[in-house]
Chain A
Amino acid sequence: MLTAIKNLIFGGNNESKDVAKSRLHFVLVQDRTGLTNDEMSGFREEMVKVIEKYFVIDKDGFDIKYHRMADTTTLLINSPVIVRRVGSLNRTPANTVVEESAASNV
């Protein structure tokens, strides 16, 4: 996230109002959720890991927004997906699962 902000400031023809918008989104998520910087990074990393169990994602495009509307607030997670991952990291083959539950019934 910080690298993205640095790129915004030093790279490209980005206008200062775009920098302001990014910074505000970042700071308001912290203010609204009460999470610390470290907690927010931790949350983001864990979310990425969970989604990566099932999909290959574009991490640069991954974005979390804390969106306030009239009566409710919503966590909006935007995760560009490249392709569905074939054979996820932790999934075990189906027959093994059946055997395990059969074993536990004994």
Chain B
Amino acid sequence: MSNKTLGAGGKKDVGEAIVITSGKGGVGKTTTTASLGAALALKGQRVLVIDADIGLRNLDVILGLENRIVFNIVDVAKKICKPSQAIIKSKKSNNLYLLPASQTDDKDVIDEAEVRYVLEQFKREFHYILIDSPAGIEQGFRNACAGADSAIVVTTPEVSAIRDADRVVGLLSSKGIEARLIINRIDFDMVRRGDMLSVKDVQDILGIEILGVIERDEQIIVAANCGEPVTYNPKSKAGQAFNRIAGRVCGEQIPIPSFDGGSLWNRLTRRLGVNQ
């Protein structure tokens, strides 16, 4: 089923298709797709990012490519254009390409068979194909999962995002798609104060392997403003996290940094109510 070993930085005939999904909207799927795609491209991998959010496209804007769209995924699926005509090279990397979504159709305009056909057109040209799934669990999600070799589930350490992520992990499992987790927007001050679930809490609850942890970072918004993924900003903690995640996707052994803050004494006294 899985091309995981093929994706481990080695030579292979066929690229690995990874769907980036979450259930809950607004947790960072598009940012992750763009930033992780950019990070993989920086490592020399040929990467295609596909916007599967038909009708609500955003991946183009995050990559700063909104003015360069001619054809989109629906055109490729319906054979209105050649596949090579629809993909757009990114601004900062010769290794990173975008296949945009259409903005005027709805999510039922293509089906899973057509999505598999689209993936087939590109699998021999790219090491990694990242598919940005829409929020939800309906046809758009099912389309985004079609032909995926594995999944990355994005969540934030919040109750509703985790609940939705849990449902999605279950659905992916029933499709035979293995999922790994990215925890986005974690705030370690809040974790230390006991006001936010920790990485371990989220892992205990969801029970799947953690691919990466990304701290809340204002630079993500700045990056979106400018249409340049945060990956290229060496000062951004989120950018650094995405670069580490790219390494792990390629099979490198990169440990998740221990963000565990606060001395043992502080944690004990806080528990006893002596250290508010």
Contacts and interface: CB of A to CB of B under 8 A. Distances in A.
Interface of A: 13, 15-18, 20-21, 23-25, 27-28, 31-32, 67-71
Given A13-B273, A17-B201, A69-B207, A28 B195 contact: no
B82 interface: no
B166 A16 contact: no
B166 A28 contact: yes
Given A23-B159, A67-B207, A31 B167 contact: yes
Contact of B159 (A24, A68, A69, A71): A24
Given A23-B159, A68-B169, A17 B195 contact: yes
B197 interface: yes
- Overall SS of chain A's interface: helix
Contacts, number: 48
B195 A15 contact: yes
A20 B94 CA distance: 45
A18 to B, nearest CB: 7
Most-contacted residue by chain B among A17, A27, A70, A71 (CB, 10 A): A17
B205 A25 contact: yes
Contacts of A17: 191, 194-198, 201
A70 B196 CA distance: 25
A75 B259 CA distance: 32
B216 interface: no
B194 A28 contact: no
Interface in B249-276: 271-273
B14 interface: no
A21 B195 contact: no
B65 interface: no
B206 interface: yes
Interface in B202-231: 205-209
Nearest to B198: A17
Contacts of A13: 271-273
A24 B166 CA distance: 10
Nearest to B194: A15
B7 to A, nearest CB: 19
Given A21-B205, A28-B163, A67-B207, 9 more contacts: A15-B193, A17-B198, A20-B159, A20-B197, A21-B201, A28-B205, A32-B170, A68-B207, A71-B173
